[in-house]
Chain A
Amino acid sequence: NAGVTQTPKFQVLKTGQSMTLQCAQDMNHNSMYWYRQDPGMGLRLIYYSASEGTTDKGEVPNGYNVSRLNKREFSLRLESAAPSQTSVYFCASSESGTSGSKQFFGPGTRLTVL
């Protein structure tokens, strides 16, 4: 099992450009998450999908959109990138959307917006 995979690993964008970060899991998990990680701060939840067909905002959703394409895949889109979105992005999945379900993380995407 590959677990949680993310593409790309690295990306450099110019301000105003758009891009989509891809995430897939092969553990048949119901819930998937997108986090961002910035120096000196903990992981912050951007969006999550408790189950296929549903998505909800997290702590820092502004500037992002998500799509739960199917049970395996959850993508994060930046419509018009800004320097404040320079960060490392992690996708995660869990068996259920309840708080007692441990999360499995992907390797991360390092995004720089110039």
Chain B
Amino acid sequence: ILNVEQSPQSLHVQEGDSTNFTCSFPSSNFYALHWYRWETAKSPEALFVMTLNGDEKKKGRISATLNTKEGYSYLYIKGSQPEDSATYLCASPRLGSARQLTFGSGTQLTVLP
């Protein structure tokens, strides 16, 4: 993996369902993995910054895990609500530049009532 890739590109779930999506990133020279939530007509808002292999972070019904050896992170949402509808972005530093984040294209989540 040379870039940050996210899957799926979009996802529709019913209210109450649990869901998860994936971020893949270059595993060599790992520094950090960021997750952001981006609601329509607003600006991206940080959810988590993860730096250690095996890290797990939680914020309410949203949690994330990190595997730096294989270069992936999962974001989980338990009991999705319509207000969870947003685009979820992950980002990791560019190869060769620890200070510059490369963002994935995002997973667009729609939670249907």
Q: Known contacts A59-B94, A101-B49: does B43 contact A90 (CB below 8 Å)?
A: yes
Interface residues of A in 64-114 (CB under 8 A from B): 90, 97-108
CB distance from A55 to the nearest CB of B (A): 12
- Flag the segment in B13-21, B59-67, B73-81, B102-110 that touches A: B102-110
Cross-chain contact A99 with B105 (CB below 8 angstroms): no
**A42 vs B31: C-alpha distance when bound (angstroms):** 19
Cross-chain contact B44 with A99 (CB below 8 angstroms): no
Q: Known contacts A59-B100, A97-B99: does B32 contact A106 (CB below 8 Å)?
A: no
Cross-chain contact A45 with B43 (CB below 8 angstroms): no
Selected from B32, B98, B100, B104, the residue in CB contact (under 8 A) with A45 is B100
Selected from B32, B44, B106, the residue in CB contact (under 8 A) with A100 is B32
Cross-chain contact B98 with A98 (CB below 8 angstroms): yes
CB distance from A87 to the nearest CB of B (A): 14
Count how many chain B residues have C-beta atoms less than 8 Å from C-beta atoms of the other chain: 25
Selected from A41, A90, A97, the residue in CB contact (under 8 A) with B105 is A41
Chain A interface residues (CB < 8 Å from chain B)? 4, 31, 35, 40-45, 48, 50, 56, 58-59, 90, 97-108
Cross-chain contact B99 with A100 (CB below 8 angstroms): no
Cross-chain contact B46 with A99 (CB below 8 angstroms): no
**A50 vs B99: C-alpha distance when bound (angstroms):** 8
Q: Which residues of B contact A45 (CB under 8 A)?
A: 100-102
Cross-chain contact B43 with A108 (CB below 8 angstroms): yes
**A88 vs B113: C-alpha distance when bound (angstroms):** 30
The residue in chain B whose Cβ has the minimal distance to the Cβ of A90 is B43
Q: Which residues of A contact B4 (CB under 8 A)?
A: 42
Cross-chain contact B49 with A102 (CB below 8 angstroms): yes
Cross-chain contact B100 with A90 (CB below 8 angstroms): no
Q: Which residues of B contact A99 (CB under 8 A)?
A: 31-32, 92-93, 98-99, 101
**A15 vs B37: C-alpha distance when bound (angstroms):** 34
Q: Which residues of B contact A48 (CB under 8 A)?
A: 99-100
CB-defined A-B contacts under 8 Å, sample of 15: A4-B43, A31-B99, A35-B103, A40-B105, A42-B4, A43-B44, A44-B103, A45-B100, A56-B99, A99-B32, A99-B92, A99-B98, A100-B51, A103-B101, A107-B43
